[in-house]
Each structure stands twice: as structure tokens, then as C-alpha cells.
Structure 1
Amino acid sequence: MTTLPGDAAPDPQPEVPGWRPLHAGKVRQLYTSTDDPSLLLLVASDRISAYDHVLATPIPDKGALLTALSLWWFEQLEGWGLVRHHVVGAGPEHGVPARFAGRATVARRLDMLPVECIARGYLTGSGLAEYRATGSLAGVELPPGLDDGDRLRSPLFTPTTKAAVGLHDEPVDEAGVAALVGAERGAQLRDVTVELYSRGAAVAAERGVLLADTKVEFGLDPDGDPADPASLVLGDELLTPDSSRFWPADGWQPGRAQPSFDKQYVRDWLTSPASGWSRTSAEPPPALPDEVVERTRARYVEAYERLTGRRWQ
């Protein structure tokens, strides 16, 4: 857990019949089944983190929104034929306790691979910083003169290491990935990650949304052959505003930071004079104003509704 001194504590993990607390992270809780050790319960809270801090003010419905959106994408994935996913189900018939209804999923336990798999279709964030420093991204030389928000000629695989708790992930090239998981598995991670991004970007584009980049995580089926490509399974979440950058297509304008469907309002307020807080401060961030909470929640709701075509209840 990377919560810093003085930050809001993660949600307590209550004892739940049939499930044993395994880990409490910044914004999610993890349980293991007391009856079947191959099953996990992933619970998403309404807490929100920014600049390595867990904020004291939750965003109502955030955990349920991200869970519902991720489940919707997993449904799409089943028709793509790319890779299996880890979700067993999200209802009481699958073992989700009533107290976690709507914000938890039951999933198969995987042997997780030590790579954060990232695909980028647009230049922004840490990718932009790397390009400005080196002229390249993940070892791929890019044309000169690119700016914040520019579309790349083709999606790039820009993986990072999966750092230990309290440390930061570090960029790694394909050779580095091969050193971690083997050349064949590394190539599979690249190909599947880029294809997942491309499929997701196409779906989002139909709904007036640009998918700038996304992060996915993979593991191996403990019951499968580790050398078999079919043993690869997609874990964690899929194409949510917490794992991806989504931009409204009608607001896209390269050369500046883009409006996005995530915690942008939180970041903007925290770094504004109105918050009275600095990223270099030893103090934790202050409580969020109601307006920032409401606008942030509205962006998560809009992302869900635009991508799925469903009304948020």
C-alpha cells in the first residue's frame, strides 16, 4: 500500500462470510475465497487518488461506475477472440456479498506477469515527456515536431516494469520485456495489448470518444502450460477512465492538454491556488469542494454512458 502519512486511510476490510481479506490498496480491496483459493473478490471503493495521495473525499458511485464499465468491456472482449479474461461474474450467484453489490467482481486467481502493458495512440503524459527528452518513445524514433495530443502514425507498445509497493514503474523496451517474460511471451503481450487498444479505440470512436492510451495487466492460468500462448489471461480492469485516457473527440486540439473523462477536475483543483496545496507540500491534500466532486462524478458517468450506450442508474 502506498498511502502516505496523513492521507486518508484505505477503506477498512470487514470480515465477510466466505471471503478472507487479502490486501487493501489505495482505492480497491482484495479478498480470497475461504472455500476455493482459486477465486478472488475484487472490490472497488469510491476513493480517489492523485499525485501519490489518497484523498479524504470520495467520489460517489466511482467504484460502481468503474466496475460496470470494465464488465461491459469484458463482454465486448468475449466476441473479439483475442485473449481470455479473469472475471467469473459479478452477481450474488457468483458469490459477491450483498454489501459489495454493484462494485465487486469474482475473478480467477492468476500468476501475474511483472509487466504493465501500455498502448498509446496519441502523444501525451509520460510518453510526451519521454519524446521531448529523447525524440523517441519506448525505443521507437518518432518524427520531429510532435506536440501534446498529436495522433501517432500507429499505436505503440510502451510497457513499464511493475514496481514494488511505494516505488514507481519504470519504462522498459521490448528487449527488457523479453528479459522478464521471454521473447515469445513478450511478443504476445505486445501484439495483444496493441490489438486491445485498437479494438477499444474503434468502439470509442463510434461514440465520439478518443482513446489516447490504455494500460492492461496479464497473468497466466495456474492450471495451464506456462509455455502455451493460450495460458495468457487478461486480469485487473479493462478500458476504464482509471486505466485509460479518454478524450471527447469534438474537443480534441493538439498543442495543449486535452479535456478528459477522468479525475482531471481533481488534479486541476489540487494544483490551483484555490486549493492552497502544493505537490511539494509535506501535508496531505485538502478535502475536495462539492463542485469538484460533482463535476468529477459527472465525467465518470458521461464516460460510462457514452461508451456503453446505457443510462447510468
Structure 2
Amino acid sequence: MSSPVGAVAPAPFFPARRPGGAPGLALFLNAGDPPLPVLRELVAMLDEEGVDCLELAVPFPDSVTDGPTVRRSARRALDRGGVDLDDVLAFLADVRPHLKRTRIALLADWRYSLGHRDLAAATRDIAAAGADGLLVHALPPRLREEHLGSAAEAGLPVVTTCYSDSPPATRAEAAARASAYLYLVAHYGRSGTAPAAGHAALARTVTELRAHTTAPIAVGFGVSTRQHVEAVGASGADAAIIGSAAVAAVEAAQEAGRDVTEAFRAFVRSVRPEQP
């Protein structure tokens, strides 16, 4: 296994799984959907409920990798205003010190949020705000080493990604570069769609990736129910990532005029497997 010089040691985003235990749980939301004051309450609730990780995106428009649910969410957040990178970092700096369990991985799009900034300075700002990890969306390959070096210098673990059907060398490199966790995308397509063979069928891929990383492996795309989370666990992965279904729960609560935090609490409890 290889890793970049000065790589950050893997961070414990997800607790070690007990034999037969459920995988960890990560939930994706766009900052600003719900509005930041409501989101602050929601994040505190996630910590109370023992959710391991929040993937918090700085919203950006017209993502080609996301399905309509996530794209609507980003558009709602952007239309409300007040959710650029600086706003989200201020929000993060406010909420992160109060969390006892839930860790926050920031997702930022290169073109929309980072490309016009000095990468090293932006990475330091993200680390200083309290992010536990960073996932850069659509990072140009030519900047990969600079990104990894900047993150290592800032002491900020990185989330890397690969598809289950990526070439073996691509998967191995992504695994070796992960220091927060490796996001294994269940299949090629847009968020919200599930692999035809089911998530448990990723077991061989997960086993192969273990040879290249000591970071946790989290599986996403098409994970929306307790049964899907259990299937991810059956693959041997460390955690399941729920994106579109989590965003849809927020959307439904807002459209119905319900308490978003309490509606989302019910969603969390509905998808989390029972511990043996």
C-alpha cells in the first residue's frame, strides 16, 4: 500500500464494527437546505441520535453526478442565499465544537467553491473551521497531488472516491490516498440510483480495496432504507452513505410544513439497523 508523503493518519469517522454489528451511518445534506438555523438544530439532533458522519455540501448548481432530488435541494439552498464556502465554514465553526460523536465531512465543488481560491489557503480555512474531512468534487486530475499535499499540511483528512466498476488500478489508488474514508460509489450513474445486483454484491470489491487502505470504506448511491444499510453491512463495508433519501426527507418535511428536525429524526431511526 502506498500513500502520499506526509499523509494524515486515518481518522475514526466510523467505529470499528463488532462481529455481526451494523455498519456506520453517514448522511448527506446540502448546507442551506434546510436553512442554516434549522440545520444547526438538525445537526445537534444527529449527534444525539449517534449518527457517525454528516456529509455537508457547499451547494452548487447543475451537478452532473447527482439525480433530481439532490439537484433540487442545491437549488433551494442557493436561491435562499447565504451559503457560499465562507458562510458554510462559519456555520461549521459554530456547530462543530458542540458535537460529541457526529463528524462532518465537507463536500466542496472545485469549479464553484474552490477553483477561484488559493488551494492551500482554502484547505487551511476548512481545517480551521473544524471540518473532520474534505471531499473535493470534480477536482482536476492535474491538481490531485497539490490537493493531497495541502490537506496533509493542514492536518485535514481527505475523502477519496471510486466506482465499483472503476479499473482496478484506479480503485487501488483511490483507496491508498484515502485518509478520512474511501467513498465507494455503488455503481456508475447518478445519485439516488441503486446497483442492479444489490449492495451486498460489492463484497469482493470491498475485500480487494482492503489490501490498499487502512481507512474506512463507505458505500453510497442507492442506499435509502434499513434493508439497504444492512446490505452494505453484508458487503463488509464500514459504513453506508445515504444521500438522496436523506435530502428527500428534508424536502418532504418542508413541503408539508412539518418540524424538519423531528421529521428527520424519524427518518434516521427508520434507516438505522437494530444492533444485536
Q: Please confirm whether the aligned pair reaches a TM-score higher than 0.5, indicating the same fold.
A: no
**Larger RCO (CA within 8 A; separation ≥ 6):** 2
More helix per residue = 2
TM-score by length of 2: 0.29
More strand per residue: 1
